[in-house]
Amino acid sequence: MSSPALKTIVIEKDMGDHIGLATDISESFKTGPSWCDAVILIGDSKFYSCKGILASISPYFRKLFSADCGDVCQREIKLEGFSKIGFKAIWDYIHGTRVEVEGEEGALATFRDAHFLGIKRLCEKVSIAIKAFLEPENAIRILKIVEKSEYRELREAAVALISRRFNEVVCTQDFLSVSFETLASFLDRDELQVSSEKELYESTRKWLDHDSSRKRHLPDLLDKIRLPLLPYEYLRTVLLNDQVISGDPRSLSAITDAIDYHIPERRHGVDKAKTLPRKVISDTIWCMDNSNIFRISPDNWNLDEVTHNPLKEVSCSIAGMDNKLYVTGKGEMKIFDVEKEEWKEGPKPFEFVGWAATAVSPGSIFVCGGRNQKNEHLKSVFRLEVETREWVRLSDMRFDRRLAGACYYDSCLHVIGGIHHSKKHERLDLRTSRWEELAKLPQNRWNHAVSPQGDDLVLSGGNDLRIKGMGSGNKTEVFVYDRRRNSWREGPSMLEGRERHGLVYWNRNLYAVGGVRNSSVEVFNETKWEIVKTYDCINLQSACRMIN
């Protein structure tokens, strides 16, 4: 008679079994029993385990305990280059039920030691915690630890933070210790957020001066900086007179090429890629009405009411620089500190001016024309030197005007249109202090907006003077000025009519923002305009970009 078939009984281990077993194992290894055949020495600390367990978890231990490598019978093993805090976390991960890591230093030590031992799962878990610790003060240090590892997400997070907050990172002590290769890779990034190429050059020079042996890298680093975007006077008076630069033929050639860009007849020989602004990762657009000042975040196009309009007028002008707003008009200037959220009195302008055109260059704000208390139209032009807080009167324009458009580009100040010279276009070369009349606008325009875009200037919207002197407002037409040919052409029209609006060049796109009886934003995406957002308010006027 045959035996009955044996019935297979399956006992599934649940999480409680795993935790219970791990707890028992962890407690037994803490006492260091005689059957523990591996004692890991980290400094003056001992960690007890079994070679089989360690080898099953770590490729490093697997090789260490192999018959072909060293004395497999050796019980005590001293490891150099490991930290007690990092290895303690690794021991808990292998033998216990939970791992506790103390702060940023503990997480970094654990990641570094686990990576060396090849314990990938622990590295992945710790890298998530490290991402939460990322900030400008430790980003360089974290990048050094992870840049040669396979944990791409953590490396990309560190690179993204450094790129986004580079102006803060360069102020840390760790910045001075980065390698040439790392610094060069960041200078080469189109997404590097800096207030200007001048800031980038000065940070690079700070790194070079920290160690005299680094001077050999100067020409290669200058090649990564977009030198033509530096102010003409800075190139000529600071860089050209720098002994280190003048003593190096490649560096000197780079500076002279950058200077050529500011001389129209020589500009064609300059590498165009070095004249393109970097893409801005994070930025803000500011606009106002009679009562309030608003902030628009292009990341999500949310509109936030930030503060009141201190002059309670739309005839004033607004400019943004280094996290401060400058509101000018009626013989006053008010400065709003965005971080402190407080208003202060600014330097008093020379004249009572309303309805002036405003332009911004690195370190300067220009106020052009306008109307005085006697209702007279003005030719005057003033420049505020932001660092010294001093107003300087520049050469008068050839034509008096108010409600004109103005912009700064290539060391020149352009003033276009306005009442009563609504087709006139003139340019002040700030290097020679001379005004030059340029090609006329195809149509009358005032209350329009102007912005540089690549090698061109773009004029959008505005009003004309066709109906009994009052004009037909909120125009949609767009005109483009070709600086090389000194000529205007008509471009694709906006979808909505706008006047007293803002035209903002951001991330290599043009954005038309608000206007009288208009609260929308539209973008020009190389071929046509598209509405980005429409807000629930009546007016958003005189928009500007915050230059940080």
Query: How many angstroms separate the CA atoms of 126 and 115, rounded?
Result: 10
| Whether the Cβ atoms of residue 380 and residue 357 lie closer than 8 Å to each other | no
Query: Is residue 465 helix, strand or coil?
Result: coil
CATH architecture for segment(s) 285-547: 6 Propeller (2.120)
What φ, ψ does residue 183 adopt, rounded to 5°?
A: -60, -45
Q: How many CB atoms lie within 10 A of CB 213?
A: 7
| Over residues 252-263, mean pLDDT | 91
pLDDT band with cut points at 50, 70 and 90 for residue 275: confident
Query: Is residue 129 helix, strand or coil?
Result: helix
Summarize pLDDT for 463-483 with one digit per residue, the tens. Answer: 986 544 444 568 999 999 998
Query: How many angstroms separate the CA atoms of 496 and 520, rounded?
Result: 9
Domain boundaries, the chain: 15-133, 179-275, 285-547
Q: What percent of the chain has pLDDT over 90?
A: 48
| Over residues 269-290, mean pLDDT | 79
Mean pLDDT of all residues belonging to the chain = 86
| Over residues 413-425, mean pLDDT | 94
Place of tokens 């050796």: 74
Lookup: tokens for 313:
């007028």
Q: Does pLDDT of 346 surpass 90?
A: yes
| Whether the Cβ atoms of residue 176 and residue 206 lie closer than 8 Å to each other | yes
DSSP class of residue 33 equals: -
Q: What is the pLDDT of residue 534?
A: 94
Summarize pLDDT for 58-91 with one digit per residue, the tens. Answer: 999 988 888 555 555 678 889 898 999 999 998 8
Indicate the burial class of 442 (C-beta count within 10 angstroms; 0-12, 13-18, 19 or more). Answer: middle
Q: Does pLDDT of 282 surpass 60?
A: no
Query: How many angstroms separate the CA atoms of 81 and 97, rounded?
Result: 26
| Over residues 179-187, mean pLDDT | 94
User: Secondary structure of the chain: what % helix, strand, coil (to 5)?
Assistant: 30, 30, 40
Query: Is residue 133 helix, strand or coil?
Result: helix
Summarize pLDDT for 450-459 with one digit per residue, the tens. Answer: 999 878 999 9
Query: How many angstroms separate the CA atoms of 102 and 112, rounded?
Result: 15
The distance of Cα 173 from the centroid of its chain, to the nearest Å, equals 20
Q: How many CB atoms lie within 10 A of CB 55?
A: 17
| Over residues 412-438, mean pLDDT | 93
Q: What is the pLDDT of residue 326?
A: 96
Place of tokens 């654990």: 110
- Among 512, 443, 440, 513, which residue's Cα sits nearest to residue 472? 443
- Return the higher-pLDDT residue of 434 and 267: 434
Q: Lowest mean pLDDT of 23-27, 292-296, 305-309, 518-522, name the range.
A: 23-27
The reply to whether CATH 1.25.40.420 applies to domain 179-275 is yes
Q: Give Cα separations from 151 to 125, 155, 218, 265, 430 (angstroms).
A: 11, 7, 32, 50, 51
Q: Does pLDDT of 437 surpass 50?
A: yes
Q: Lowest mean pLDDT of 128-132, 208-212, 508-512, name the range.
A: 128-132
Name the amino acid, one letter, at 70: G
Query: Is residue 484 helix, strand or coil?
Result: coil
- Return the higher-pLDDT residue of 185 and 69: 185
Query: How many angstroms separate the CA atoms of 18 and 170, rounded?
Result: 48
Contacts of 330 (CB under 8 A, 6+ apart): 311, 313, 315, 316, 352, 353, 354
Give the sheet arrangement for strand 502-506, strand by strand: 502-506, 509-515, 518-524, 529-534
Could you please state the CATH topology (level 3) that the domain comprising 15-133 is classified under.
Potassium Channel Kv1.1; Chain A (3.30.710)
Lookup: tokens for 423:
């087709």
